[in-house]
Structures are given as C-alpha cells and as structure tokens.
Amino acid sequence: MTLIKNNRIQTDTWRYRSADEELAKSRNIVSLEYWLEHKSRLVTNNQELGLLVSGDTHIDDFSDALEHISLIAINIPVFTDGRGYSLAKRLRQQYNFKHEIRAVGDVLPDQALYLTRVGFDSMELANEKKAELALSKLSDYSVFYQTA
C-alpha cells in the first residue's frame, strides 16, 4: 500500500495489528472489536492509537473514546460504497474530530479530491502509480462552488 497524506506520498508509520498480534509501543491500528474488548487497557497505555472501522459503523460504538484515538481508518469495501464518506464528514462536523481520518480499502485515484473534501486527511492506495494519479487529481480544481 502507498500512503498519501498532506498532498504527498509518505511513509506509513502506523501498523495494523490483528487480535492475536502483540501491540507495538505506539502507532497501532486495531479493529473496533479489539478496541471494545480491550478499551480499558488501551486507554491507560497513553499511546497513539488508531482505530479501523467500516463505513457502516455507528459512531456511538466508539464516540466516547475519540479523545484517546489519534487516527481513524475507515474501510471502503467497494468504491461505490459512500457510507465511509458520510462517517468521515460526521466525525469532522458533528464530533469535531481533529486527528487523522484515513481512507482504506477500495480507494480509487479519482476519489482523492472528494475524500479530502469530506474530511479525510490521508488515503491508502494500491500502489505508487495509483498514488501519483491521485495526487494529480487533488490539484484538478482550485475553486469549489458547492460545499463538501
């Protein structure tokens, strides 16, 4: 996977952890299920923690923990599924989430601009070629007539 953040390709310093994998000292991305099962321990560790959710996840399932989460990775299972867009927008506007929101899964270069307009800071793309194309899409427009 290739990561775009702040309008450039960057090295990803976060790591996805499965339920049976030991957590690193910091910058772990865990599933919502893992978070719910180990929340009390994870909160007391005082480490940067990421949460992987799907676009159809209800924010109420983790809204009480937003102050402890440094990154929310929203999985887009197929590029035609817009629920992740809605979730990102709600996190930004209704919950005032200031940390990183990342698009993962079936993310297409043509979606890059739209993803950033609804609140995503970063996105994972399948390879560097797609990431370069996504970067070019981010600069296609300089003025927008409608809100995101």
- Separate counts of helices (H) and strands (E) for the chain: 4, 8
> What CATH number did the domain enclosing 75 receive?
3.20.20.70
Percent of the chain residues past pLDDT 90, beyond the cut: 66
Average the pLDDT over 73-92 and give the result.
94
31's enclosing H/E stretch is strand 28-31
pLDDT of residue 44: 78
145 domain-assigned: no
Provide the number of structural domains found in the chain: 1
> Is the pLDDT assigned to residue 107 strictly greater than 60?
yes
Q: In the numeric block, which tokens belong to residue 38?
A: 């180990």
Average the pLDDT over 97-126 and give the result.
94
148 domain-assigned: no
pLDDT of residue 20: 83
| Residue 47: domain span | 2-18+25-138
144 domain-assigned: no
**What's the pTM?**
0.90
Whether the CA torsion 22, 73, 60, 62 is positive or negative: it is positive
- Note whether 69 and 88 are within 8 A (CB): no
Average the pLDDT over 101-116 and give the result.
94
34 domain-assigned: yes
Q: Which of 94, 87, 93, 110 is nearest to 102 (CA)?
A: 87
88 domain-assigned: yes
pLDDT of residue 122: 96
